[in-house]
Amino acid sequence: MSPSSDAVFISVDGIDGVGKSTQIAALTDWLTAAGYAPVLTRDPGSSQIGLKLRSLLLDGRLQMHRRTEAMLFMASRCEMVETTIRPALAEGHCVISDRFLLANVVYQSIASDGSGVPPDLLWQLGDLANGGLRPDLTLLLDMPAAESLRRIDRPADRMESRGIEYMEAVRQAFLQQLPRASDATAVIAAEQPVERVTQAVREAVQSFLQQKRPR
């Protein structure tokens, strides 16, 4: 693997507690050592507007309709795409995003009370908000909801507090919707020891880059 001027957009996703932050940090270090200059983003967030919207979306004291929730996520992502991701890709960077549209589709489509937004509509709205931009590669860190909730060592945010049945439904929705997230995808078994997960992530990214830029 060697650095290239070709830009690449990688998204890392999965239910809370699967270790996204740990694996993104390891992937960033690995790509940097290989000569890349990764640009990191977090969805929602990565802009002044996005950070304000993030605080609203994760505030456990607030209740909001799923459509309201969905549109706030879309607005945050639109700002992130236009102010951070597109400029970085235009400069030839490798962009790594902690979540992207896939998570928006999954979380806002799952609701036991019937208030979920249809996934097809969320994909359409997401493409509108993103100007059609989707990741080149989506990595899904997957593990059972019971294990992910056990690993969370902080107070649950508004979404995590919905319980294990909800989180398992979210997990299954991630697996179901993943093929629509990007042309290239990989499911990583995240319940393995951290070192094995890190190696699996590297292998998936290296395989993708080699196929994208054959030598």
CA 22 to chain centre: 14
CB-side neighbour CA atoms (13 Å) of 84: 23
DSSP 3-state percent helix, strand, coil across the chain (nearest 5): 55, 15, 35
DSSP secondary structure code for residue 116 in this structure: P
Q: Is the peptide bond before 44 cis (omega within 30 degrees of 0)?
A: yes
- Highest mean pLDDT pick, 2-11, 36-45, 89-98: 89-98
What residues contact 195, with CB distance under 8 A and at least 6 apart?
A: none
Entry pTM: 0.87
113 falls in which pLDDT band (50, 70, 90)? low
Whether 131 has a binding-site annotation, put simply, is no
Q: Which two tokens stand for residue 75?
A: 């607005």
Phi–psi pair at 18, nearest 5 degrees: -85, -10
**C-alpha to C-alpha distance for 148 and 12, rounded to whole angstroms:** 16
pLDDT at position 183, please?
Answer: 94
**C-alpha to C-alpha distance for 162 and 142, rounded to whole angstroms:** 19
pLDDT at position 192, please?
Answer: 94
Whether 10 has a binding-site annotation, put simply, is no
Query: Per-residue pLDDT tens for 141-183?
Result: 999 988 887 776 655 544 555 678 888 999 999 999 999 999 9
Element holding 189 (H helix, E strand)? strand 184-189
Whether 17 has a binding-site annotation, put simply, is yes
Strand-pairing partners, residue 10, are 96, 137
* CATH top class, domain 8-212: alpha beta
Whether 116 has a binding-site annotation, put simply, is no
pLDDT at position 61, please?
Answer: 72
Region of poorest pLDDT, from 14-18, 148-152, 208-212: 148-152
Instruction: For the chain, give every domain's residue range.
Output: 8-212
Q: Which two tokens stand for residue 170?
A: 């979210």
Whether 16 has a binding-site annotation, put simply, is yes
User: Would you say 178 and 138 are in contact if contact means Cβ atoms under 8 Å apart?
Assistant: yes
